[in-house]
């Protein structure tokens, strides 16, 4: 049995923080894991910027409520779930992900939690360190074979841990730093890569 493990932002939905930056005019929130590989450094930057601008969680949730899946994402998820188990492995937060998961038929998602105080985001709690890679490793320990896709620095350890991993619409800097990882630029291409990988795995 195969498990398909997908990143969320940049693979199934637009980047949440970029959408927040565009809606609020706070350009310092445009940085993502495509730009900064150290997740703690990135989140500390975001916490500082939110405090400086007194950006409330309710405002961020309002932006997310107006977002939706990327064109073709729901159909791709449906295609995957007809064939294999699907788990979303994301470095977002349950506080952010819930309305987006509702729009995609509530696939299983493993992510993190925010620390809030009076509608302000004051910190965050990782579910566990390197959780994407550890989840894939655990699935393999349960005798599942794993197919994985992501777009950013924080996905690459997951992709290399999986039986098969591919980048989906990554930025040029990630492609150049990880030339060993195959690249898909649309859902049809990713579906084809996953099908070929599954056939190869089953033929072993």
Give pLDDT tens digits for 175-186. Answer: 999 999 999 999
Does residue 22 have a known ligand-binding role?
no
pLDDT at 140: 95
Q: Is 7 a catalytic residue?
A: yes
The answer to whether residue 80 scores a pLDDT higher than 90 is yes
- Would the pLDDT of 201 be above 90? no
Catalytic residue (one of 9, 155, 161, 163): 9
Where does the pLDDT of residue 107 fall: very low under 50, low under 70, confident under 90, or very high at 90 and above?
Answer: very high
User: Running DSSP on this structure, what letter comes out for residue 85?
Assistant: E
Confirm whether residue 15 is marked as ligand binding.
yes
Model confidence over 3-57: pLDDT tens digits? Answer: 999 999 999 999 999 999 999 999 999 998 888 888 889 999 999 999 999 999 9
What domains appear along the chain, each with residue ranges and CATH number?
2-13+70-111+128-203 (3.40.50.1000)
Q: How confident is the model at residue 118 (pLDDT cuts 50, 70, 90)?
A: very high
Give me the pLDDT at residue 45, please. Answer: 95
Task: Give the pair of three-digit tokens for residue 162.
Answer: 């999986």
Q: Establish whether 173 is an annotated binding residue.
A: no
Length of the chain: 204
Laid out side by side, the sheet with 164-168 consists of 120-125, 108-117, 85-93, 2-6, 145-150, 164-168, 183-184
In a 3-state reduction of DSSP, which class is residue 72?
Answer: coil
The reply, when asked if residue 118 is annotated as ligand binding, is no
The pTM assigned to this predicted structure is: 0.91
What CA–CA distance (Å, rounded) separates 192 from 185?
Answer: 11
């Amino acid at each position: 049995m195969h498990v398909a493990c997908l990143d969320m932002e940049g693979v199934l939905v637009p980047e949440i923080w970029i959408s927040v930056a565009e809606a609020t005019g706070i350009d310092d929130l445009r940085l993502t894991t495509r730009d900064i590989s150290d997740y703690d450094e990135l989140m500390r930057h975001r916490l500082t910027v939110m405090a400086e601008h007194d950006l409330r969680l309710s405002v961020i949730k309002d932006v997310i409520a107006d977002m939706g899946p990327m064109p073709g994402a729901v159909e791709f998820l449906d295609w995957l779930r007809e064939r294999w188990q699907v788990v979303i492995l994301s470095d977002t937060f349950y506080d952010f992900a819930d309305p987006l998961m509702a729009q995609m038929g509530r696939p299983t998602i493993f992510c993190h939690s925010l620390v809030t105080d009076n509608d302000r985001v004051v910190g965050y709690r990782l579910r566990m360190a390197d959780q994407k890679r550890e989840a894939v490793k655990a699935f393999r320990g349960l005798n599942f074979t794993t197919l994985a896709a992501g777009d950013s620095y924080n996905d690459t350890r997951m992709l290399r841990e999986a039986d098969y991993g591919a980048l989906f619409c990554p930025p040029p800097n990630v492609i150049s730093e990880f030339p060993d990882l195959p690249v898909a630029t649309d859902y049809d291409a990713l579906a084809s890569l996953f099908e070929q990988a599954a056939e190869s795995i089953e033929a072993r």
